Amino acid sequence: MGSLSFPDHRRGESRSKVCEYINGDKIEAILEEASNPSEEEVNHIIKKSLELKGLSVEEAAVLLQVEDQELINKFLEAARKVKEKIYGKRLVLFAPLYFSNLCTNSCLYCSFRHNNNKVKRKKLSIEEIKEEVRALEREGHKRLLVLTGETPETDLDYVVEGIKAAYETRTEHGGEIRRINVEIAPLTTEDFKKLKEAKIGTYTCFQETYHRPTYKKMHPSGPKADYDWRLSVMDRAQQAGIDDIGIGALFGLYDYKFEVIALLLHSEYLDKTYGVGPHTISVPRLNPALGAPVQEPPYPVSDEDFRKLVAILRLAVPYTGIILSTRESIDMRNELFLHGVSQISAGSRTTPGGYREAREREHDLEQFSLHDIRPMDEIIAEISKQGYIPSFCTACYRLGRTGQDFMDLAKPGKIQEFCKPNAMFTFKEYLVDYASPETRKLGEECLQAHLKEIKDLNPMLAQKVKTNLTKIENGEHDLYF
């Protein structure tokens, strides 16, 4: 059987150079060197960021050290401009799907920790996975993120079988899942090859914290206690042919400035080594979790600093999708759409089986508490009001625009030539098949506004987009460029 790479499966795997590349002393030195920047230096870096070529780790460190609110406002505005040049006014939506909350790790901040007797344990059967998928499809979802704890009971064979079942599940009104991203424990290179065969989209794994002493303290036992094994996971994924990868840190475990620099070093290492930086960077903040010893962040990240770090990530790695979860409040999510976030979870449940029959959330099953618990339709209505296109697009993955091919389009800002029309097509599908009357009205107004923008720039493209929108109105599905 496949495994989730417990220690005895790690033999024969070479040590990755990333463990030397991301060095705590190096990070501290970079931050120290960047302290007390001049206004002139900051303005120069902000101006450079607008060229869409990204920033060096050292330049990002300078922005992290800025405390003057007027200067911070300047790079918040710059992040808005960069995001819209690269991605346009659209937001990719997805839903997390937890297969199980069984886990052998003892992470101090997580309710899934193995010795937490306050949490009910649940592993979904394949039929229960299908039921969850049906519920999500009937909300309009097309993109899922599969998650599970780390335990032999949810080995790779089980995960792959669940992914296959999710892809095969169909419901009325064209309900289907078109892309499944995966966030599971680190695998061996051979197991990553098996995961790739399951036709996943992005493989995601958070280091949680890049600060070694904090990592050791927060992960006292279990397979996850091995810092280097986790940090080198993306090397093994790349070597197995998975070129769409996502990284992240759990902000609040250690100093946010340290974590941002580490994330950027990780991105730099991947780009230099494989020619492909991370497809996504996730920025969750630590939230309370039932039965977890750590309830309050050891290093709290204020809203002001959170806005700042999101904007800096956008300026430093403009091509990368930045993911924001429903851990954040409605107001914070709405605001960060402007300053860099390009993907969000919507209508989320962090409990195995939490979507079926729209039942009340079972807090004694969930991994952590959520703040934005609005239903999908309400979230989409709000996004439309702000002039953004809610996107369920999966075209790049299905056409092979991944890895280097995606980066070649994303880095110069050409990706939205495909993304905006494709986002409009998937949004139109949602409006026709699932939206409430009020959301349908708001959505159609949003689509017409964006169609006009395209027409002003490219009348021929606008006509093609309009033709496809009409086809979808008449019942066709899954159209994309």
The span from the CA of 80 to the CA of 195, in Å, is 36
Angle at 444 between CA 439 and CA 448, to 5 degrees: 150
Q: What does the pLDDT read at residue 310?
A: 98
Radius of gyration in angstroms for the set of CA atoms belonging to the chain, rounded to a whole number: 21
Whether 191 and 3 have beta carbons less than 8 Å apart is answered as yes
Higher-pLDDT residue of 34 and 5 is 34
256 pLDDT above the threshold of 90: yes
Answer yes or no: is 481 within a domain: no
- Per-residue pLDDT averaged across 146-165, rounded? 97
Answer yes or no: is 174 within a domain: yes
Instruction: For residue 88, count CB atoms less than 10 angstroms from its CB and return exposed for 0-12, middle for 13-18, buried for 19 or more.
Output: buried
Residues 294 and 172 in one domain: yes
Q: Which domain holds residue 441?
A: 410-473
- Per-residue pLDDT averaged across 71-85, rounded? 95
Question: Domain total for the chain?
Answer: 3
Residues 76 and 164 in one domain: no
CA contacts within 13 A on the Cβ side of 403: 13
Nearest to 133 by CA among 480, 212, 141: 141
Highest mean pLDDT (candidates 67-76, 113-122, 349-358, 394-403): 67-76
Residues 44 and 135 in one domain: no
Answer yes or no: is 395 within a domain: yes
Q: What does the pLDDT read at residue 370?
A: 56
pLDDT in tens, 52-69: 999 999 999 999 999 999
Higher-pLDDT residue of 9 and 238 is 238
Residues 142 and 36 in one domain: no
Domain C-terminal end among 357, 378, 400: 400
Residue-averaged pLDDT of the chain:
91
Answer yes or no: is 478 within a domain: no
Domain C-terminal end among 337, 371, 400: 400
> What would you measure as the largest C-alpha separation in the chain, in angstroms?
62
Answer yes or no: is 480 within a domain: no
pLDDT in tens, 321-375: 999 988 888 899 889 988 999 999 988 888 899 898 554 444 455 544 556 678 8
Q: How many CB atoms lie within 10 A of CB 34?
A: 21
Answer yes or no: is 155 within a domain: yes
Residues 289 and 158 in one domain: yes
379 pLDDT above the threshold of 80: yes
Residues 184 and 74 in one domain: no
The span from the CA of 425 to the CA of 412, in Å, is 24
Answer yes or no: is 390 within a domain: yes
Residues 187 and 240 in one domain: yes
Which string of DSSP letters, residue by residue, matches 399-462? TT--HHHHHHHHTTT-THHHHHHHHHHHHHHHHHHT--HHHHHHHHHHHHHHHHHHHHH-HHHH
Higher-pLDDT residue of 368 and 140 is 140
The span from the CA of 394 to the CA of 246, in Å, is 16
E-state strands within 33-142: 90-100
Which string of DSSP letters, residue by residue, matches 161-196? HHHHHHHH-EETTTEE--EEEEE-----HHHHHHHH
Residues 259 and 154 in one domain: yes
Q: What does the pLDDT read at residue 6?
A: 46
Answer yes or no: is 2 within a domain: no
Residues 195 and 55 in one domain: no
Domain C-terminal end among 400, 420, 437: 400
Residues 65 and 113 in one domain: no
Residues 98 and 221 in one domain: yes
The span from the CA of 167 to the CA of 197, in Å, is 13
Residues 388 and 460 in one domain: no
Q: What confidence category does residue 5 fall into, taking pLDDT thresholds of 50, 70 and 90?
A: very low
